[in-house]
Structures are given as C-alpha cells and as structure tokens.
Amino acid sequence: MILLTISLVVFSINQIFQNLGLSTHFMSSYLDDILFFPICLSVIWIFENRNKNYEIPIYHSLVGLILISVAFEYLIPMFDSRFTTDPMDIIFYGIGILIYHGTRIKTRANSGNRCTTP
C-alpha cells in the first residue's frame, strides 16, 4: 500500500505542476511512464491477493510491458496524431516494473516472507 500511495501522490503532484507550467521535460515526458506500472500492478495485487501469498510473476509484468508498449508507442500514434512514438517511454515503463518488483522483494524480506501490500 505504501508504494501505491507514494506513486499516486507523486503522480498527482506531477499533474498539478504540469497544469501550472512548473514541470521539467523529464517530469512531463517520463514520470507518468515510471509510475504507470507501480500503480497498475499495486492495484492488481490488492484485488488478486485473496491468497495471502500471491505475487504477480515478473513474466506477467513483462507481457504487460510488451502490450502497453505496442499499444502506446506503436498503434495509438499510428491512428491519432496527438500521440507520438517515443522508445524512451519503454525504458521508463521497464524502470517502473523494476521499482514495483524491487519493493515487493524488499517487503517480503522485511516481513519474513509474509506478504504485505505493496
């Protein structure tokens, strides 16, 4: 729950800064990409955690990375001129996956293998 809360707060602050014209190039171009998977995977984990030992397999995250990358970096820009292809987005989606799974590993290690919310 901590990762989800922090990610949502950072996302909200980033949106406020963008609307006020106070964001940097990095913030407006890549911060949302980094936060996408920690937010989505945390929400999925919360809803799927009926079994207290449930963890999202890394390969599920990688399939999600491929699907999101194809959709947002290839298909949508092909049909909507408001969107552009930026291969760097894929790298930042991947960083978000590493952040999510890295915090899950640390959370499990600190709790003696008991699962707690991300």
> What gap in Å lies between CA 8 and CA 56, rounded to an integer?
20
Domain ranges of the chain: 2-110
pLDDT at 111: 67
pLDDT at 54: 83
Average pLDDT per consecutive 10 residues, the chain (118 residues; last block may be shorter): 94 96 93 97 89 87 97 96 94 97 80 54
Rounded to whole angstroms, the maximal C-alpha distance in the chain is 50
Q: Where are the alpha helices (DSSP H) in the chain?
A: 2-19, 25-26, 32-48, 58-70, 76-79, 87-110
Residue 55 Rama label (left phi>0; alpha psi -120 to 50; beta): beta
pLDDT at 59: 96
pLDDT at 112: 59
Q: What are the distances in angstroms from CA 21 to CA 11, 12, 13, 14?
A: 15, 14, 12, 10
pLDDT at 52: 75
pLDDT at 118: 53
Structure tokens at 116: 């707690």
pLDDT at 91: 97
